[in-house]
Amino acid sequence: MLPRLEKLTSIQILLEIGVERFRRDMAQAYISAGFMTSDSDLDFKPQPNALPEERARALLPLHLALQTMLEMKGHLALPPHILTTMTRSVVSKYCSQPISDITKVFYETAVPLIHVQPGLLQKLPDLWSNETVYSHGNTTVASTLVHFTRDPKLRHLEGRTVIIDQEGEENEELDKRSAFLCTYTTTSYLTAEDMEDKKLMEAPEAELINEFEFQHYGFSPAGFTDSIYNIAVETWQAAVEEICDPSLGKVADKKKFMAQITGMIFTRQEVREAFKTFTDRVLKYILRIPPYVTLPEHQATHELLLAGERDVEEIESDCKKLEDEIVE
């Protein structure tokens, strides 16, 4: 008896034809591009009893591998044997596990510079970025990202860009086509609980968090270039001079005087207490800086720094007053 054929609808017939056509065209694309010598190298797994949708889904890894190889071929000049070996590696990578999200599938490899297209090395990069992540143990507490691109992907932004030369000056004569758009992003993962727990931390840990605050606020009490910090240093120096041993006397050489004062930090209890108070005031000042401002050269901020214990409403009121006078 002849085998009995099941009746197929028009849609099912078109699906069967489409899947088979897609498979043949993809195999031919591998061969014509020089990735494979025959479709047998692709190892298409027969699925006689599978539905057309399942067979089409099974071809997705091979299609992604073909896209990857075509992209690599456009940037690399690989010998035929290396190209075939790399194709097998890419196909194996994509077919090794089920693909649920194609945006998370990638392939990485290293090739010598001699296999890179000569024209590619002569071009400037269209996109590059540099990210710095600050961690405390296994926890990320801050990060900075610098991003450069030629194509901003934002409408109407091209007409609003300002061309800056290497000296940092605006220059309208420069070619905008050779310019990059720079975006700088700073992110802090410190929470309000972290700020409150700072008082209970040991000194090294507090100093570490203070470094993270520098990355977030753009200011660190470890830097002597900030005007506000210099005011605090001078105030601390004056306080130390008042409690110093009278036998020290007045020294004309400020550097020598500061060296002697620094040495006293480790020997005199009074000096250690003064330095501790100074450090606490600096840390309180840091925590009061809004994240969207730069530091002003303003005496009122210094007075806020030297203020005693204050409630939240007083601090917010003072910050509101300073907000109108600082540089945003």
In this structure, the answer to whether residues 27 and 87 fall within a common structural domain is yes
CATH number of the domain that 82 lies in? 1.20.58.730
Number of helices (H), then strands (E), in the chain: 12, 3
Average pLDDT over residues 56-61: 82
Residue 141, helix vs strand vs coil: strand
| Beta carbons within 10 angstroms of residue 160's beta carbon | 8
CA 184, CA 1: separation in Å to the nearest integer? 76
288 is a domain residue: yes
What average pLDDT does the structure give for the chain? 66
Average pLDDT over residues 121-144: 72
Where residue 97 falls among pLDDT bands split at 50, 70, 90? confident
pLDDT digits (tens, 9 = 90+) for 250-291: 544 555 655 665 565 556 666 566 666 666 665 555 555 444
- Percent of the chain topping pLDDT 90: 0
Average pLDDT over residues 227-251: 54
Most trustworthy range by pLDDT among 3-12, 170-179, 210-219, 304-313? 3-12
Tokens coding 71? 């992209």
Where residue 129 falls among pLDDT bands split at 50, 70, 90? confident
In this structure, the answer to whether residues 152 and 98 fall within a common structural domain is no
Most trustworthy range by pLDDT among 39-48, 79-88, 207-216, 280-289? 79-88
In this structure, the answer to whether residues 222 and 300 fall within a common structural domain is yes
pLDDT digits (tens, 9 = 90+) for 284-310: 555 554 444 444 444 444 444 445 555
What 8-state DSSP symbol labels residue 34?
A: T
Residue 144, helix vs strand vs coil: strand
Where residue 177 falls among pLDDT bands split at 50, 70, 90? low
pLDDT at 281: 60
pLDDT at 13: 77
The domain of 107 spans: 11-120
In this structure, the answer to whether residues 168 and 107 fall within a common structural domain is no
Residue 272, helix vs strand vs coil: helix
Q: Domains in the chain: how many in total?
A: 3
In this structure, the answer to whether residues 84 and 128 fall within a common structural domain is no
| Beta carbons within 10 angstroms of residue 85's beta carbon | 12
In this structure, the answer to whether residues 77 and 134 fall within a common structural domain is no
CA distances from 306 to 124, 213, 242 (A): 52, 20, 17
